């Protein structure tokens, strides 16, 4: 038997997953920005039922009051930035709350 240092190379499993591609990161960021845009479209009553951090809630309320197209777009980008800072559990909770708020009750 030879002592080959590369013998176990094909059995190596990295402890951390490979980083996401730039395209995937952009898709994720766009999805979060779209989620923020859905929040902006909610009524104040609907918005009160969604669990949002204070800073994000303030940004959404500010975006609801902006009428200029460029300013509104910049505010949506800021909301997307705030959404990217949330952890996954908060994002899932927001999506679940949006799903229940948006479904019409009969």
Summarised one tens digit per residue, pLDDT across range 64-95 is 999 999 999 999 999 999 999 999 999 999 99
Does the pLDDT of residue 3 top 80, yes or no? no
Q: Which residue has the higher pLDDT, 17 or 97?
A: 97
Q: Which of 50, 42, 55 is nearest to 91 (CA)?
A: 50
Length of the chain: 106
* 17, 21, 22, 47 from 64: Cα distances, Å: 39, 33, 31, 11
- CA–CA distance, 38 with 52 (Å, rounded to integer): 13
Tokens 């940004």 found at: 59
pLDDT class of 101 with cuts at 50, 70, 90: confident
pLDDT at 102: 73
pLDDT at 91: 93
Q: Which domains does the chain have, with CATH numbers?
A: 24-98 (1.10.60.30)
- CA–CA distance, 77 with 39 (Å, rounded to integer): 13
Burial class (CB in 10 A: 0-12, 13-18, 19+), 64: middle
Summarised one tens digit per residue, pLDDT across range 10-61 is 566 667 888 889 999 899 999 999 999 999 999 999 999 999 999 999 999 9
CB 39 within 8 A of CB 52: yes
Tokens 């204070």 found at: 54
pLDDT at 12: 60
């Amino acid at each position: 038997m030879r002592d080959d240092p590369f013998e176990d190379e094909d059995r190596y499993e990295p402890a951390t997953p490979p980083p996401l591609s730039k395209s995937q990161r952009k898709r994720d960021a766009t999805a979060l920005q779209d989620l923020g845009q859905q929040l902006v479209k909610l009524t104040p009553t609907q918005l009160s039922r969604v669990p949002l951090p204070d800073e994000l809630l303030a940004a959404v309320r500010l975006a609801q009051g902006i009428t200029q197209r460029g300013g509104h777009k910049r505010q949506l980008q800021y909301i997307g930035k705030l959404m990217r800072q949330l952890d996954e559990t908060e994002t899932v909770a927001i999506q679940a709350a949006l799903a229940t708020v948006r479904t019409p009750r009969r």
